[in-house]
Structure 1
Amino acid sequence: MSEITPNLTPAQVAAHPLVAGSRALAVGSLLGLIVLGLLWELWLAPTGRGTLALKVLPLVVPLAGLLRHRLYTYRWVSLLVWLYCAEGLVRGFSAQPIEAVLAWIEVGLCLCLFTACALQVRVRLRLAKQAATP
């Protein structure tokens, strides 16, 4: 990170390779969780009448914030994702084989999303600290 110069503009911060990469991973993982949740509950291994598909609604809310580079959104998504990870772990150990595979995919996507959010926050705070230092 020694190549970073002070007084970076928001566009330069967004163009930083770690920021851009972690943003792409976070958005991709979030979209993957949304699609997986819908497919799982509506088509692949539905539980009940498909009302569990509503569990993806809280994942739709932060999508706009991630796309707009809102640091606060990355922070709270990194906490929200653990609810879905816990669900995946429980269902991964207790469900039928097809559901177990879907659950482990969910756990993997959750870990990717958490890692991307944590990296995004860490790098952006470091860049802001370096920009503030004379």
Structure 2
Amino acid sequence: LGIAPIFVEISARGEIGGAIAQLVRQRAQALVLLNSVRDQQFEIVDAAMKHRLPTLTEDPETVRKAGALIGYDATRAEQFRLRAEYIDRILRGARPAELPVQQPKKFELVINLKTARALGLTIPKELLLRADEVIQ
């Protein structure tokens, strides 16, 4: 695929701008936000936008609230349903180590066209048609 990940560590809010600048210096083409940085999502997306760096996330809410470009993950309802099934089985006596690994089946794709326009990006129509939500 020609993808080479670049990792930067941010241990304090004051380091966000410098970390994003470091990614840009290393010619990063996009930034992937993990759920572990949810508390800093607004600052990270804002800093990335200042450097014209698209942000992708596993949390569609970060697209809606913070302005990330694309979010893709299992729907919250699907995640809660799977958790509830496991809890129910365990409470009925199943041994956790013997429960099968289950994968979610329902996913949500959210695309922020406002962010795409601000970055000068064109999102292919094929992708827009597959999106569950497109933010204008």
Shared fold (TM-score, shorter chain, > 0.5): no
Q: If each structure's helix is expressed as a fraction of its own residues, which one has the higher value?
A: 1
Q: If each structure's strand is expressed as a fraction of its own residues, which one has the higher value?
A: 2
Normalised by the length of structure 1, the TM-score is 0.27
Normalised by the length of structure 2, the TM-score is 0.27
